[in-house]
Structure 1
């Protein structure tokens, strides 16, 4: 037998990309329709409140609608608690092996519940739910093909990437967000599948919404070098406000829980009713904030108006998210960042320290900085805003502000907000079904304790089994004398009940 006969062609990556593309196309359609319905719902609600300014009896209609929505969505939350909130912590938990749920009830209830909650004008984002919708499509695809284990998680991650890509038309940043913040894995098979899925989903969403970037802000001046010192101050302020955001958003659910007269599933009634004054006086700021960001970027209002908008949106977004409605904080975070950036720029202009022409630059960079601090995903923040705004001129200001905001939150003891939300949910009663054993991947980083050791000499966490080592293009079945090298990816079978302990132990061993 010659060498050509011995050599087998490996189609695994081509197959993974093909599956990612198919999932991306399906998720792209689902999320694009989701996004379209929400935008039409928001326009309808804004029109409704403008009419209510002239016909006050319509406010009674809104109260009735609020009660009906509360009862309906509350019933779904009680039946399927996995549709609660953003959905990103649930997806992250699923990829970590900590959470499991049935895909079909989550898919349709998250879709309909998200349209009703976000489209009603509440300050909730569509991006978190879009990630969960895409991930659920990937889960359903895996279930239909009877794919399990690590390959199943890759498909779920690719669906999540597709969901965010269709929501933001940002395929590169979407792939990176899933790798950096959700999956925490940069292996080749994961990123090529996620990227293929994101590109396919973005291709679909352009048919619905066109090629114009989601947050297209036009400006002609780059930030002068002598103004870069202000970026450091802006990053510090964003870090401080970002840490404040983390503290409040992680506690607001507990504050609602203290309302003994109202079951947790029906807390949304408070948010719906209290939306009335905002709808009557500031209907243009309703919703996740996409329209508001573009408006502020084009022509920023005065200092007092921006301050009022920030306070109102901060309070009401917390109220809405704390109810557990199917809606996220992704876009609301970017909106608050944009308002803070515009406010910062307008103050500098008022004090004759900057030109009005650079205010849009502070608006754009503050979006990235605020998100980088709260999510602690700076690379995603930089790429995301670059793709959403549609220009490369602001890369250096984005990097400076994102890094300073990230470090400020880190010094203040902040953790990635979605990971913190997942930790909170895992402390509560576990819902759904769990498998007794799951598979986890651990890359070997520089200065890892196990670098250069034979597998028999490693003090592996109790109950784990090393089943595979990925080394570049090779897949190694380990033996006792197999030497672990820097850059390897270790695949371990882990008992379901010991996931947290194993993850902490492996971080010490692999140098993460």
Structure 2
């Protein structure tokens, strides 16, 4: 039986490695690639990605690896949006809107959480609350959720049931909880990036690294089959029974280590759901520790599981609104928004104090380092940047702006008006400016002007 499973996984490895070799941009979750597209830093072939990502993602995730389907769903949705735009021959701005709508639809369908799908695109992928983007994203997310709910009969994948309300006197424990989760989130960020570097030591071609987790998953599955996959069934099981501290600690270690092995290999699959699973396990572990210390009633352990999911993802992705809305949509309890927000904020601030960057942004940076080598330094790109309150753009005249690389402002949009750029125009928060620069320098421009002091 073990031999058959090994043979099957080797066949899966061969198929996936061939697909990744032909189209390297299907590797990983796909979210950094979509983010790069919306920032005009990557140009991708939608059809080549669409069918290859679907097949490779199904095989990789279906093999039991600790990868999530949400990232691939987002990239598949974005590819469909890009394809529609190219078939209809819409302009570049409208095509980006369709890509964003497709990405939001992918997450909404995966989680049955349309608002979280929209917020994730705005907060994590597009980095702007542009009405042009959020309207199309909302329309796509609602329609995708309706299809998955009405046609396929799906329900929110992490619906854990009713939660007891958290009393005020427990907020001291929630503060400790947030601090610990922040440290664990920072550890996750650094380890995930290091895992990609570690695979270089194998000296295998990058597209063949997937054989390693496909072989290692077999002994893991023999000893703990319930722990395989993205982890949604594991999260739901915590709502029914919370294991002992030793078992929870072992579960956290195994999930953490094998998540790094799975994603670091570059196999098509995401980290979204695995992050939520680790957050839930960490929440159960810390909650159980508080119970055994006599600081917490056992009735509130499930609250720590749910809050752990939100806060852990908020800190790792530095997307607190997405995390809070996602869990709110699944749990459906307004009374838990405050503790969710409180712990998420504490964990976020810990990561921020340690100079941790959003994980998808860090993964995009890694991706662009390789892409830049192949770019023509003279090829131009149009970069669209929102003027954020507190950024170096806000309340400044164009003449006084400090440019990191040679560039020129070619357009200013203020509400529904298009302004003619001139040196004396004062940029206001909420404006959207278009900058012309080389493709190589586009990322430096975005990083410089989107940084909020």
TM range (shorter): over 0.9
Distance (Å, rounded) in 2 between the aligned partners of 1:119 and 1:272: 11
Aligned counterpart for 2:109 among listed residues 166, 172, 194: 166
Question: What's 1:440 paired with?
Answer: 383
Question: What's 2:82 paired with?
Answer: 139
Question: What's 1:89 paired with?
Answer: 32
Distance (Å, rounded) in 2 between the aligned partners of 1:450 and 1:421: 26
Q: Output aligned runs, 1:232-311, within 5 Å.
A: 232-260=175-203, 262-311=204-253
- TM, length-normalised to structure 2: 0.94
Query: Cα deviation per residue 1:239-265 (whole Å; 9 max; x = unaligned)?
Result: 1111111111101122122112x3322
Gaps of 5+ in 1: 1-57
**Offset at 1:316?**
1.1
The alignment partner of 2:334 has SS state of coil
Residues 486-495 or 222-231, more deviating? 486-495
Instruction: Answer yes or no: is 1:390 the counterpart of 2:332.
Output: yes
Query: Cα deviation per residue 1:220-241 (whole Å; 9 max; x = unaligned)?
Result: 5211111111111111111111
After superposition, the CA RMSD in angstroms is 2.2
Paired residues of 1:310 and 1:340 also in contact (CA < 8 A): yes
Distance (Å, rounded) in 2 between the aligned partners of 1:135 and 1:125: 17
Question: What's 1:379 paired with?
Answer: 321
Question: What's 2:57 paired with?
Answer: 114
Question: What's 2:369 paired with?
Answer: 427
Distance (Å, rounded) in 1 between the aligned partners of 2:277 and 2:394: 44
Distance (Å, rounded) in 1 between the aligned partners of 2:318 and 2:392: 26
**Offset at 1:196?**
1.0
Paired residues of 1:175 and 1:194 also in contact (CA < 8 A): yes
Paired residues of 1:150 and 1:440 also in contact (CA < 8 A): no
**Offset at 1:504?**
4.0
Distance (Å, rounded) in 2 between the aligned partners of 1:59 and 1:388: 38
**Offset at 1:493?**
2.7
**Offset at 1:188?**
1.1
Aligned counterpart for 2:290 among listed residues 328, 335, 348: 348
Change (3 A) 1:281 1:152: same
Paired residues of 1:100 and 1:432 also in contact (CA < 8 A): no
Distance (Å, rounded) in 2 between the aligned partners of 1:354 and 1:455: 56
Matched pairs, number: 452
Distance (Å, rounded) in 2 between the aligned partners of 1:172 and 1:336: 23
- TM, length-normalised to structure 1: 0.83
Instruction: Answer yes or no: is 1:196 the counterpart of 2:139.
Output: yes
Question: What's 2:18 paired with?
Answer: 75
Gaps of 5+ in 2: none
Distance (Å, rounded) in 2 between the aligned partners of 1:191 and 1:318: 33
Distance (Å, rounded) in 1 between the aligned partners of 2:150 and 2:427: 48
Aligned counterpart for 1:491 among listed residues 427, 434, 438: 434
Change (3 A) 1:464 1:65: same
Question: What's 1:401 paired with?
Answer: 343
Paired residues of 2:12 and 2:59 also in contact (CA < 8 A): yes
Q: Please tell me whether Structure 1 or Structure 2 has the larger radius of gyration of its CA atoms.
A: 1
Paired residues of 1:218 and 1:298 also in contact (CA < 8 A): no
Paired residues of 1:101 and 1:432 also in contact (CA < 8 A): no
Instruction: Answer yes or no: is 1:207 the counterpart of 2:180.
Output: no
Paired residues of 2:112 and 2:155 also in contact (CA < 8 A): no
Paired residues of 1:165 and 1:174 also in contact (CA < 8 A): yes
The alignment partner of 2:441 has SS state of helix
Distance (Å, rounded) in 2 between the aligned partners of 1:447 and 1:409: 20
